[in-house]
Homo-oligomer: A and B are copies of this chain.
Amino acid sequence: MKPRRVIKADPPMRLIDVEAERFGNGDDGLEGRAGDQLFDQFRRVRAATLELAAPLSPEDQVVQSMPDASPAKWHLAHTTWFWETFILAPAGVQPFDPAYAFLFNSYYEALGERHPRPQRGLLTRPDLNEVRRYRAYVDDQMQRLLHQGGLDRATRDLVALGLAHEEQHQELLLTDVLHLFAQNPLKPAYRPAPRTTPAAGTSCGPTTYVEFPGGLVEVGVSASDGGSAFVFDNEGPRHKVYLEPFRLADRLVTNAEWLAFIEDGGYARPELWLSDGWACVSAQGWSSPLYWDQREGAWRGFGLAGPGPLELSAPVAHVSFYEADAFARWSGRRLPTEMEWEHAASQAPVVGNLRDSGALRPLPLTPSSPASKGLHQMFGDVWEWTASPYAPYPGFRAAPGAVGEYNGKFMVNQMILRGGSCVTPSAHIRASYRNFFQPHQRWQFSGVRLADDVR
């Protein structure tokens, strides 16, 4: 991967237009150099996965803490399986071990039977060393293939998909490890606490609202739009939507604001909740965001640096859609739709507290935080729950075959989140990116930006 142009050039935010770099500057000779580009990207993305796993012991990497999460070792193997299955096998490369086609398929029905998801944590064999050998073998084969060049467009598209896929699993590896460690009474840290802790009590000012006139706008990105940048199929087709005038909060909801919600009985007032949300709160006994803990009156949080006092001015994280929605109702506001969010973000540079910043936790807003159109924290820190259920855009058709299962078949019972989080690779996120989770899920870095009607 070539050095990249940094939009916001100053330290400490190193976050940048990777997208532009990844796929070149446009149309000049892309065809001829694509191989080399992909070669570099492939090496870097693959290396990053291993780097993320490095602080973890073999024991840390084998255990599955809940059916929604996967062991780190499984992430290492499954991402490798993806390359082997979609690129190497069609190219005639011998599989590393035929059993892995069964063991490390995640959910592709078109590829046959597979090891059940809730049992991923039972695979003590192949052990971590063996999975590393598997990675090395596949890396070697992939690099040979990429180096020789001459790949057709479909294959290059699959490589780009594989890179995006691996980046998604990088994020999941971190959120899954955080969940695992949170179950352990010893509360281990994924990595040492950062050198400097933000001054306690630093508080950001009151939220202000940025107004958008709405009207007939375009959202989404068609893969075939001629742009060279990779996008998932579910981000398109690009299409028109009509937006009523709306207002968007200039920043994320903070832990301090969430405490006010708790103290006002937010978790005990059914009138604030959707019916399913209230059922969930009651059944699960939720009374705070996931990973919050109250000892002797003081709230503590838990993150990749282990436990610590709740950072009041940092964005709230690890809340479900149900909680986000109830908070918005309590605030007299609402969540933005995904279209409002995308429209507002569409011209903004992709800068923010993404994984590349190294913080690996949501950070308080500071006076020097970047903004676009007055909006802060649009990218990074936490995924922002929207009011939009995950549904296909007009004209969406899943691709035929196994790759078509990537996104389309999940388009029900999920809600859209936007903007990436502090564990999202900056190269991975963009304004049109549609993340989705079930409304009760909380183990991602998920938070809230409020919106409102213009009345």
A2 at the interface (CB under 8 A from B): no
Residue in B102, B392, B409 whose CB lies within 8 Å of A185 = B102
Copies in the complex: 4
Per-residue CB proximity of A126-167 to B under 8 Å, as 1/0?
Answer: 111000000000000000000000000000000000000000
Instruction: Give the residue name and chain of the B residue nearest to A398 (CB).
Output: B329
- A453-B395 contact given A186-B99, A271-B109, A275-B409, CB 8 Å threshold: yes
Q: Produce 1/0 per residue, A381-400, CB < 8 A to B.
A: 00000011101101100000
The secondary structure that dominates the A interface is mixed
> Hey, which chain B residues are within 8 Å of A369, CB to CB?
none
Contact A453 B59 (CB under 8 A): no
Bound together, the chains give a CA A61 to CA B102 distance in angstroms of 24
Interface presence of A303 (CB below 8 A) = no
Contact across chains for A124 and B273 when beta carbons are under 8 A apart: no
The CA-CA distance from A127 to B184 in the complex, in Å, is: 12
Q: How far is the CA of A276 from the CA of B389 in the complex (A)?
A: 15
A186 touches B125 (CB 8 A): yes
Of B188, B321, B409, the contact of A125 (CB 8 Å cutoff): B188
From the candidates B62, B277, B411, name the one contacting A63 in the complex (CB within 8 A). B62
Q: Separation in Å of the A244 CB from the closest CB of chain B?
A: 4
Can you list 25 A-B contacts with CB-CB less than 8 angstroms, sorted by A residue number? Answer: A59-B61, A59-B73, A59-B124, A63-B121, A63-B124, A103-B185, A110-B270, A110-B271, A115-B185, A119-B183, A121-B121, A123-B186, A125-B181, A125-B184, A126-B186, A216-B242, A242-B242, A244-B395, A274-B410, A274-B412, A275-B409, A278-B409, A387-B392, A388-B391, A394-B453
